[in-house]
Amino acid sequence: GSEEKDRAAAASDRLGSALGPDWHEGLHLKGTKEFSHKVHIEILCEVKKIHSQQEFIQLQRTSLAFPKDEKNAEADEVLWPVYVELTNGKIYGCDFIVSATGVVPNVEPFLGGNNFAVGEDGGLKVDNHMRTSLPDVYAAGDICTASWEPSPVWHQMRLWTQARQMGWYAAKCMAADTLGESIDLDFSFELFAHVTKFFNYKVVVLGKYNAQGLGLDHELMLRCTKGQEYVKVVMQNGRMMGAVLIGETDLEETFENLILNQMDLSAYGEDLLNPDIDIEDYFD
């Protein structure tokens, strides 16, 4: 018990990455007490350093409050859990910092002395059994690049859920190859799906939810109820290609089936998102 407490205490002091669905647990978010759509942007600068509250106090510097209008920011009287110092000399305090820099596969440790085939995005190329170009070497997750012909509604996106699915499937493939058994591509790779929670709203993204690779030949259908739900559907040639569901919409299973079945929905038009029609019963 004491060892677990020590590990938890040590972990809480470290900066981390790869956020899972419970990233906000245990955080006291002061900013959520006010609702504002205003965004302040600092341009032509980078993050110079991140300070803890204690480090900021020792600096004996002044942080700035985010400006509420076009005027310059004033000194911030509030103590924040973390502070970010920018290369333009400004320091801002905040609840937490999100670094949205993308994912680059870290393959360098494996390339020395090996002749791995590498994808355009820098990952180790794997076939539909998660095998690399070298015999008996498998790869899964962020480090690999899926080089098989993907399903029209699946794409690789370096998320923790997809990495976990790849890990499970790689283990199945290794066992099947060892036993000399055949194995089909896992159903997880038929439809892109990711589920998480953001500010206590359930968020579900399905298929080509942002019209990835669909070109200009697509249309969007929207339904939004302020404070309750947001539904976006990506349609192409009358067929559902992707969706974003925020809130308790109860539409994910129905939309999964519509995307997988590629049913022609042209006849339904905007009624597809009509809140007065029980779409789940209509298609199930």
Whether residue 8 has pLDDT greater than 70: no
Kindly report which listed range (12-16, 183-187, 263-267) carries the lowest average pLDDT score. Answer: 12-16
Instruction: Tell me the one-letter amino acid at 57.
Output: I
What mean pLDDT comes out for the span 268-284? 76
Distances (CA, A) of 197 to 99, 103, 234: 18, 21, 21
Whether residue 23 has pLDDT greater than 90: no
- For 275, counting Cβ atoms within 10 Å of its Cβ (0-12 exposed, 13-18 middle, 19+ buried), the class is exposed
Confidence of residue 268 (pLDDT cuts 50, 70, 90): confident
- Give 160 or 69, the one with higher predicted confidence: 160
pLDDT number for residue 131: 97
Distances (CA, A) of 153 to 104, 184, 209, 216, 273: 23, 18, 9, 17, 20
pTM over 0.75: no
Pairing of the two strands 144-146 and 124-126 = parallel
Domain ranges of the chain: 47-94, 107-189, 193-282
Percent of the chain beyond pLDDT 70?
83
pLDDT number for residue 239: 95
Whether residue 174 has pLDDT greater than 80: yes
Topology annotation, domain 107-189: FAD/NAD(P)-binding domain (3.50.50)
Tokens of 136: 């008996």
Taking residue 272's Cβ as centre, other Cβ atoms within 10 Å add up to: 20
d(CA 77, CA 64): 9
Confidence of residue 232 (pLDDT cuts 50, 70, 90): very high
Taking residue 144's Cβ as centre, other Cβ atoms within 10 Å add up to: 23
Residues 245, 204: contact at Cβ < 8 Å? yes
Buried b (16+ CB within 10 A) or exposed e, 48-65: eeebeeeebeeeeeebbe
d(CA 139, CA 249): 36
- Give 221 or 19, the one with higher predicted confidence: 221
d(CA 73, CA 91): 11
Whether residue 24 has pLDDT greater than 90: no
Decide yes or no: CATH 2.60.40.10 for domain 193-282.
Answer: no
pLDDT number for residue 276: 77
Confidence of residue 64 (pLDDT cuts 50, 70, 90): very high
Whether residue 19 has pLDDT greater than 70: no
Buried b (16+ CB within 10 A) or exposed e, 196-206: beeeeebbbbb
176-208: per-residue pLDDT in tens? 999 999 999 998 999 999 999 888 899 999 999
For residue 106, give the DSSP letter. Answer: -
How many CA atoms lie within 13 Å of 10's alpha carbon, on the beta-carbon side?
Answer: 6
